[in-house]
Structure 1
């Protein structure tokens, strides 16, 4: 449990706890143990079934309790802003069921995401189709399902929506400064402020209903003040629209919220401390305010366990070896059974830095422990035949053997959702636990 959240976690509303406890599906086994205990049990089962096919495959441990703690944290620190979970971040069915039961909305980017959310029983009015450029048939599908709220940032999109869903409730996505973000979405989306007048006039000519403004400060935002600047820009657009006769009722402050894994620099507490007050100051209580958090909910909730399938000793040239400390001249390359084409695609697509930790060495379980042995210069590689499949180019690890295990924490955001089966490797399965109850 995070110490700074203790008062929030220990006194949640009883009805919310009851909702949370009712989530697990009868078709899915959910443990009520720590990640350490679940992982240990899984590895012991593998040891007992030594010759079973695929028994040493990599796997995730997904903690539904951590997702619930993050929800309580959000409701405590940003009570006015309604979370609409960004499905793209992690469309795991148990995560969606949990958040649906807690009353969350959902940010969907495609027909498939809308369909998946509807299939878990979410009402259409709890969905925002937050993709400014949509396939025509997807717009028709949204109309058929009464998913009326959708974003746009260009005039061409307005003409498309007029043709396929003229009764949609439109949200104008404006361009904001995302230069301090790891993923700068403004390169692709967002209407520059000087184009707003034209877009509003076009919507009036087409008799389309614009209900509000959205923005996105970028995924992995590193400056909490970016949220303040964006809210001020949104307020200006509200005023500009009001002067033209529009009656905006919705503000969408987008995503970019850090997860519980972020302890230093920009934290969720820092974002909430600036975002909540500026929204309250600039927007009256009758304006509905939503957000699109993704990694915030799930980044810290998933841990992946990988099996070392091979080791390669690195032989250095004599001249180089003489420059290295004589006590630890050895270097090793380790190969594990999930990689960049699988769950670790976050290294490329999401600019994440992942840290390996020893899970099991010589059949000794070491989760959360320091292995008191010499560490050697090491690299960790995924299982495919591609040389870009490198998880860690340089790290320090004790000397490990094939059959030992590594684990990586904070692997819930933009990981398995973008995994492929390149070279025929399967996606890693998820084992669920609940550390709240």
Structure 2
């Protein structure tokens, strides 16, 4: 790959008007692939997007791209690669399987500006949980009516900010929250967030912190009615990392009950159902989507004008990012190999403290084994990979089979976009927020 590509920065997409779509824009299912010529286009920062349709890099293209970053930029620090083609493919997967559900990307999962801009350009709206997240989305030129302030417990200063910029849809699950909103944003429209049945098998259940209990729903609706709020709909979240998707049906059934109770109270027709997050790309998504569609048809077939939204984060972010970390230290003890890399548990791997998903990696021996940089076919050793800090608990992998690699070689970690950079710290002076992101895509033009 010619090094001149690295001098070609992606131009900023200044056609902001193209981002100003309605908050429930029908998902465009007519986009087609462009012609077959292919090129790679990088940038160190989140500089912008291309108007052309991006397609995902192949495995070989990704490795070649990473090698070029390492060699052409004299890279020594860890870095991310964001593949815009993966984002586009995931958006296609979403609209093929859930065309009736408008995604509101959960910014907290990964607030990378280039990812946000790509999501906006594709037609996604946004789930924001704080003033800073709202600011990040508005900075792209996105209309505030494409944002839901989906935090059921908000600081008053953040509510005032939302009012000042025209973010006029938020969630609540308590009378105290209603009072704050009444005081600082009385024109705001509302969702009542309910606690769904905890049957999803999710690794992270949210019901202990968020969601009205069944017996609390009517008093909350009455309180909202008394305060002259417009309650537009119901929201729920079955939890992150769900494995039992019947939970969606049970939660949608519970939401229908709330719609009926609101109607009995004389509340004007609610018309929005927010089915939350908890989606994972791949087989789990294709298993969950039919459950959602069937439940919507079963419980909401007679709701005229119903708009359905969701708040996926991990679905779009996880596999769109690859992390590349350098080996900064090595120790051999008998047959065991121990390595230190320049990112770790206090950085991009923070999720390993509470989430035990398998880490997927490719060794890249650009320095010590140029003839076979991916080390295919080589003998592997029982290996430990430590992060860079002085905490002994900063251990990324133990007992992992790796070929022999050396200091200044690299490890490529795949599917590293969800709750990675957004959750890192500056412990010991290793600043996760300073890690660069290269934007890449295969362009068919």
| Contact 2:46–2:112 (Cα < 8 Å) also in 1 | no
Deviations 1:131-151 (A, max 9, x none): 000000111111111111100
| Contact 1:373–1:398 (Cα < 8 Å) also in 2 | yes
Deviations 1:377-435 (A, max 9, x none): 11111111111211112211122211221111111111111122221223321111113
> How many Å separate the matches in 2 of 1:26 and 1:195?
44
Name the SS for the 2:382 alignment partner: strand
The aligned counterpart of 2:270 is 248
Name the SS for the 1:182 alignment partner: coil
> How many Å separate the matches in 2 of 1:87 and 1:62?
16
The aligned counterpart of 1:281 is 298
> How many Å separate the matches in 1 of 2:196 and 2:356?
21
**C-alpha spacing 1:204/1:71, structure 2 compared with 1 (3 Å):** same
**C-alpha spacing 1:146/1:350, structure 2 compared with 1 (3 Å):** farther
The aligned counterpart of 1:375 is 380
The aligned counterpart of 2:125 is 105
| Contact 1:359–1:365 (Cα < 8 Å) also in 2 | no
Asked if residue 434 in structure 1 is aligned to residue 441 in structure 2, the reply is: yes
The aligned counterpart of 2:162 is 142
Asked if residue 312 in structure 1 is aligned to residue 331 in structure 2, the reply is: yes
Deviation for aligned residue 1:305: 1.2
Name the SS for the 1:411 alignment partner: coil
> How many Å separate the matches in 1 of 2:438 and 2:66?
9
The count of corresponding residues between Structure 1 and Structure 2 is 399
Name the SS for the 1:343 alignment partner: coil
Asked if residue 259 in structure 1 is aligned to residue 281 in structure 2, the reply is: yes
Deviation for aligned residue 1:48: 6.3
- Greater mean deviation of Cα atoms: 135-144 or 55-64: 55-64
> How many Å separate the matches in 2 of 1:397 and 1:42?
19
> How many Å separate the matches in 2 of 1:278 and 1:68?
27
Deviation for aligned residue 1:373: 2.2
The aligned counterpart of 1:201 is 222
Q: TM-score of the superposition, structure 1-length normalised?
A: 0.85
Name the SS for the 2:257 alignment partner: helix
**RMSD of equivalent CA atoms:** 2.6
> How many Å separate the matches in 2 of 1:435 and 1:271?
30
Name the SS for the 2:222 alignment partner: helix
| Contact 1:181–1:217 (Cα < 8 Å) also in 2 | yes
Q: Which runs of 5+ in 1 are unaligned?
A: 1-10, 19-23, 316-329
> How many Å separate the matches in 2 of 1:155 and 1:45?
53
> How many Å separate the matches in 1 of 2:258 and 2:29?
37
Residues 230-249 of structure 1: matches in 2 within 5 Å? 230-246=251-267, 247-249=269-271
| Contact 1:35–1:433 (Cα < 8 Å) also in 2 | no
Name the SS for the 1:189 alignment partner: coil
**C-alpha spacing 1:16/1:82, structure 2 compared with 1 (3 Å):** farther
Deviation for aligned residue 1:35: 5.7
Deviation for aligned residue 1:16: 9.6
